[in-house]
A and B are shown apart, each in its own frame.
Chain A
Amino acid sequence: MSAVRQFNTRAHKALADSQLQRALAKARSGFVDKRAHAAASEPDFEHMRDQAREVRQRALANLAMCLEQFEQQVLAAGGQVHWAETPDDLRRIVIDICRDSGARAVTKGKSMVGEEAHLNVALEAAGITPWETDLGEYIIQLAKEPPSHIVAPALHKTRGQIEHLFRDAHRLGERALDEVSQLVDEARAVIRERFLNADVGITGANMLIAETGTAVLVTNEGNGDLTARLPRTHIITTSFDRVVPTWDDASKIIRVLARSATGQPITSYTSFFSGPRAGNEQDGPDQFHVVLLDNHRSALLGTEFETMLHCIRCGACMNHCPVYQAVGGHTYNAVYPGPMGAVLSPLLRGAPQDDALPNASSFCGRCEAVCPVRIPLPGLMRKLREREQQQTPAIASRWLLRLHARLSRHPALYRSLTGWGSRALALAAGGRGRLRRIPLLGGWSRERDLPAPQGGSFQQQWQARKGRG
């Protein structure tokens, strides 16, 4: 079965899954409204985005130097830096450190690089129990599923499904678990024990600061800090493109990260880890390891896809994507879903099944409009699609028509999608009222123009919508 058809089959299943649709509906309003409010209530938000983008550009332009300095500083603080070319290398390095620490159980904070390397499977195979501590990660670990969102991994689960998972996993007898607070309290009690008993803690990093060899971790739950600071060994699994030159630069990223992700000015916890525990400190690890993954990222430097490495993993692009909102993260069948995943997954994994992903877009442009570091996601998807179309020319248009046929059986969804689509088409026509070239349908539009829907620009309509929401 072709990649496009597989995507299509998964999309169809997702549309018919009423539980998933309920979960997605909640997320849709939650994330979108909260970000809109955060952006509207911060007069400097657009400046903040420009500053964040500038930091990412400067970091990548001086990447080798930043990384060497980062490494020197980690070593000077008594920590270690490991370089992993492939996910396999990363797994081996982490398991070796765990074995050296005599670890039988490890606590884990959320790490997308850990997901990318399928670290849990490897740890289990090595006889080491991975305990996820982020509530969302914990839920999907119980469900034996991959994350469906880079910020909210269990976004696709309803409360009822979570209750089921908890009753199966925690044999705690009769108890009420109807309220969100009861579910959160139960997870808190179960996971608290694990924080206290783990031999090794594994977290990701939202940023690395070159000037002091510091890893920055952003969470709301506090699980990352307990994972990092209680066990004897702290392992940070991340990729080298997370590096920024200075603490001031890190601030520029922090300012836009939570605002874009959850609409908060800052998350509850932002922590800066620099090496192992110093002499007079009561808490903190004896060993501090940073594992830097490449996995094809270095091959993107200097190419038309380099800007994808500016991504700060806020999730805003997927939150605002009509395709993601309709079919959810699992339909992408990739660690990174949504618009950023549609670009990044084929570039990192390069598997044939990823060829369909750059087509999974209505090209409405909302992802680029909300991306805090202004990554031109639709443009990158287009470039990937052109690359792929050179190999298999007719598939994309067939895929589009089939998706259209399926969507038309879901009127409400279809309306919402075409709403975005028409605004996007109007925008693409650039005020001329005619479209010279239609995404995905190059063959058709070569011979004729499509009249673009009228009714104001995308930005105007988006503002109006925001006003109403």
Chain B
Amino acid sequence: MQSARERILGRIRKASGPGQAASAGTADSQALIAAQPAAQASLRPIDDVPAEFCQQALAAGVELHYCDELAALPAACAKVLDAQARLTVSTAQALAHMHWANSVQPYVRGSIEVGLVQARLGIAETGTACFDSRDVPSGLLFLSDILLVVLDGRHLVDRQESAWQRLGPVGSALHLVTGPSRTADVEQTIQVGAHGPRRLVLFLVGGGLAQVVARHTQPAPSLITLASSP
């Protein structure tokens, strides 16, 4: 007796053209299914990648800051956080070995006041930060009330396709994060802080982006305080 798999694939093969005869996993089949049409109109080039990143991130509700180097980060974080706020820092990254003004809690699945994580890449077209599950536990990205994201200013790419190339193989999850969590499920009113972070604060570090960030964040962003817990 045929399995459901064979019956479904059999129907698909029967309905489709001769290309279906090639077997999966061969170089031929990969080339065939990935073949881009020759005459496809391409999207406009993004000339100023950092500027586009800043603009899109701000539009998505990201609060943007700049530090010249990683060593300046603890002071920058202290400036935007309540002194009492407790930090949870992702341990697989350089951040884990730094000293912070706020008290640091180990990552436990539960409610986390402030998560501090490092992104692999930023994608300019949408102001998006990319996280690999080998660097950052997924829960830390989604259980934090406030998420502080550190992104190297030299790790910005124009579009998703460039990001995939630059990232190479990733862990069991790759999370693209663009702004805080939100919902419009109650009367189509956008409400921030649905299940994930209510605020997303992004520190671009290095890359000589001080002016670009300053240009996009005028007037200066207001001091960040902890949102009251639900």
Contacts and interface: CB of A to CB of B under 8 A. Distances in A.
A181 B182 CA distance: 11
Given A62-B20, A67-B12, A281 B181 contact: no
B196 interface: yes
A229 B178 CA distance: 19
Contacts of A441: none
B195 interface: yes
A361 B31 CA distance: 42
Given A188-B230, A222-B196, A63 B182 contact: no
B225 interface: no
Please list the 9 inter-chain residue pairs (A to B) with the smallest Cβ-Cβ separation, ordered nearest first: A222-B196, A68-B24, A301-B15, A221-B194, A302-B15, A282-B137, A229-B138, A30-B188, A136-B185
Contacts of B25: 68-69, 72
Contacts of A264: 60
18 contacts: A26-B188, A65-B33, A69-B30, A71-B24, A85-B4, A133-B195, A152-B188, A159-B186, A162-B186, A180-B191, A185-B230, A192-B111, A192-B143, A220-B181, A223-B194, A246-B33, A266-B176, A302-B16
A414 interface: no
A208 to B, nearest CB: 13
B8 A222 contact: no
A159 B186 CA distance: 6
B178 A58 contact: no
Interface in B33-73: 33-37, 40-44, 56, 59-60
A35 to B, nearest CB: 13
B111 A30 contact: no
A255 B24 CA distance: 28
A61 B15 CA distance: 10
A225 interface: yes
A269 interface: yes
A58 B19 CA distance: 11
A65 B22 contact: yes
Nearest to B43: A44
A54 B40 contact: yes
A273 interface: yes
Given A67-B24, A270-B175, A274-B171, 5 more contacts: A139-B185, A220-B184, A267-B178, A271-B176, A298-B15
Contact of B40 (A30, A51, A196, A280): A51
Interface in A366-416: none
Contact of A270 (B34, B35, B176): B176
Interface string A70-95: 01100001000001110001000000
Interface in A190-248: 191-192, 195-196, 210-211, 220-223, 225-226, 228-230, 240, 245-248
Interface stretch (B76-84, B159-167, B201-209, B213-221): B159-167
B181 A62 contact: no
B11 interface: yes
A183 B194 CA distance: 10
B139 A229 contact: yes
A298 B7 CA distance: 10
Contact of B186 (A31, A183, A265, A288): A183
B93 interface: no
B49 to A, nearest CB: 16
B32 A269 contact: no
Contact of B172 (A77, A158, A185, A226): A77
Interface of B: 3-5, 7-9, 11-13, 15-17, 19-20, 22-25, 29-30, 32-37, 40-44, 56, 59-60, 92, 107, 109-111, 125-126, 128, 133-134, 137-143, 159-161, 164, 170-189, 191, 193-197, 230
Interface string A28-40: 0011000000000
A133 B195 CA distance: 9
A65 B134 CA distance: 30
B134 A280 contact: yes
Most chain B CB within a 10 A radius of its CB, from A62, A230, A277, A302: A62
Contacts of A230: 109, 138-139
A135 B183 contact: yes
Nearest to B180: A268
A159 B173 contact: no
A469 to B, nearest CB: 15
Contact of A64 (B12, B59, B161, B187): B12
Most chain A CB within a 10 A radius of its CB, from B125, B126, B187: B187
A88 B188 CA distance: 34
B143 A226 contact: yes
A420 to B, nearest CB: 21
A136 B181 CA distance: 15
B172 A184 contact: no
Interface in A155-170: 155, 158-159, 162
Contact of A66 (B33, B60, B142, B184): B33
A251 interface: yes
Contact of B183 (A30, A68, A220, A249): A220
B160 A251 contact: yes
A84 B4 contact: yes
A189 interface: yes
Contacts of A450: none
A184 B196 contact: no
A246 B36 CA distance: 11
Contacts of A281: 133-134, 137, 171-172
Nearest to A277: B172
A284 B141 contact: no
A159 B189 CA distance: 10
B194 A271 contact: no
Contacts of A303: 15
Nearest to A46: B41
Given A220-B194, A284-B138, A298 B8 contact: yes
A276 interface: yes
B139 A65 contact: no
B172 A274 contact: yes
A299 B10 CA distance: 11
Contact of A221 (B30, B173, B183, B188): B183
B44 A43 contact: yes
Nearest to A183: B186
B173 A273 contact: yes
B193 A272 contact: no
A348 interface: no
